[in-house]
């Protein structure tokens, strides 16, 4: 069986991650992360007004607005759930944002509060989201940022592929993204790369801080 070629956005993700080999110091890895952030900012340098706002609204077609808007809410640890209430407020506030954009049917998925998005733990909320997308019920997936949906490339790219197949868009604080448009797909790929890379840095710092004499584990 012929193997399919690696998608262009995934190729870029892999090359960016390769820029920071396993033995690289934190400073080098943070430089790579900064470059990814600059790429995203450069691609989004137009303010969300005028033509940009018009384009975002054009992506919210009447067909999509008739479907369900899913607001996905997640925090990584029970400590964040208890103490970082501002993040919860902003994430739940996306329900009002979906209503403002014209959605009548809105579902909030928050079963993953206190669960990591690294792919190392089960996420029943994310699984329910994927099931709804596969069923063709979802017109848009709302999240405050890419890291809330996933901190690993497997889950992130799987969701992007499914949304593209059923014609759903992803919406965050920066804009509306249609996975079937090459520029939007590139931006989604970069956002996923940055989210995964941030998780790697956080995990390595945590390992180092818990190792004897500060040595990495």
Secondary structure in 3-state letters for 35-46: HHHHHHHHHCCC
Nearest of 138, 139, 160 to residue 149 by alpha carbon: 160
Residue 180 is encoded by which pair of tokens?
A: 């079937």
**In this predicted model, what pLDDT tens digit does every residue of 86-103 receive, in sequence order?**
999 999 999 999 999 999
Beta bridge partners of 172: 175
CA 55 vs. chain centroid, Å, equals 21
29 neighbors 20 (Cβ within 8 angstroms): yes
Per the domain annotation, does 54 fall within a domain? no
Residue 137 confidence (pLDDT): 95
Residue 107 is encoded by which pair of tokens?
A: 């579902």
Domain count across the chain: 1
Per the domain annotation, does 52 fall within a domain? no
Query: Which are the contacts of 191, defined by CB distance < 8 A and separation ≥ 6?
Result: 40, 145, 146, 172
pLDDT class of 209 with cuts at 50, 70, 90: low
For the chain, give the mean pLDDT.
Answer: 79
Per the domain annotation, does 55 fall within a domain? no
The DSSP code for 174 is: T
71 neighbors 56 (Cβ within 8 angstroms): no
Per the domain annotation, does 215 fall within a domain? no
130 neighbors 158 (Cβ within 8 angstroms): yes
**In this predicted model, what pLDDT tens digit does every residue of 130-189 receive, in sequence order?**
999 999 999 999 999 887 898 888 899 999 999 999 999 999 998 999 999 999 999 998
pLDDT class of 4 with cuts at 50, 70, 90: very low
Nearest of 163, 135, 167 to residue 149 by alpha carbon: 163
Catalytic residue among 62, 76, 147, 209: 76
| Torsion angle of C-alpha atoms 156, 162, 167, 171, degrees rounded to 10 | -20
Per the domain annotation, does 21 fall within a domain? no
Per the domain annotation, does 118 fall within a domain? yes
The CATH number of the domain where 86 resides is what?
3.40.50.1390
Residue 17 confidence (pLDDT): 47
Residue 57 confidence (pLDDT): 84
% of residues, the chain, pLDDT over 70: 67
Range of the domain at 135: 31-40+61-210
Nearest of 135, 138, 84, 83 to residue 109 by alpha carbon: 138
Q: Phi and psi for 168 in degrees, rounded to 5?
A: -95, 155
Query: 18 or 105, which is more confident?
Result: 105
> Known catalytic residue: 76?
yes
21-30, 57-66, 206-215 — which one is most confidently predicted on average? 57-66
Residue 116 confidence (pLDDT): 85
What is the pTM for the complete model shown? 0.72
Per the domain annotation, does 193 fall within a domain? yes
Query: 51 or 36, which is more confident?
Result: 51
């Amino acid at each position: 069986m012929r193997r399919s070629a690696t998608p262009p956005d995934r190729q870029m993700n892999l090359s960016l991650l390769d820029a920071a080999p396993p033995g690289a110091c934190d400073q080098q890895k943070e430089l790579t992360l900064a470059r990814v952030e600059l790429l995203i900012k450069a691609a989004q340098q137009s303010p969300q007004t005028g033509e940009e706002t018009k384009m975002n609204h054009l992506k919210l077609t009447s067909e999509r607005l008739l479907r369900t808007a899913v607001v996905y809410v997640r925090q990584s640890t029970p400590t964040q759930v208890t103490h970082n209430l501002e993040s919860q407020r902003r994430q739940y506030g996306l329900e009002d944002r979906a209503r403002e954009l014209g959605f009548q049917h809105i579902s909030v998925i928050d079963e993953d509060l206190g669960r990591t998005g690294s792919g190392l733990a089960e996420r029943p909320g994310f699984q329910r989201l994927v099931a709804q997308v596969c069923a063709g019920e979802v017109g848009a997936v709302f999240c405050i940022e890419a890291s809330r949906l996933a901190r690993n490339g497997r889950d992130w790219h799987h969701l992007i592929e499914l949304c593209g197949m059923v014609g759903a868009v992803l919406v965050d604080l920066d804009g509306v993204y249609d996975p079937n448009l090459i520029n939007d797909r590139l931006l989604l790929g970069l956002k996923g790369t940055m989210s995964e890379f941030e998780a790697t840095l956080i995990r390595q710092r945590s390992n180092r801080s818990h190792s004897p004499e500060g040595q990495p584990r």
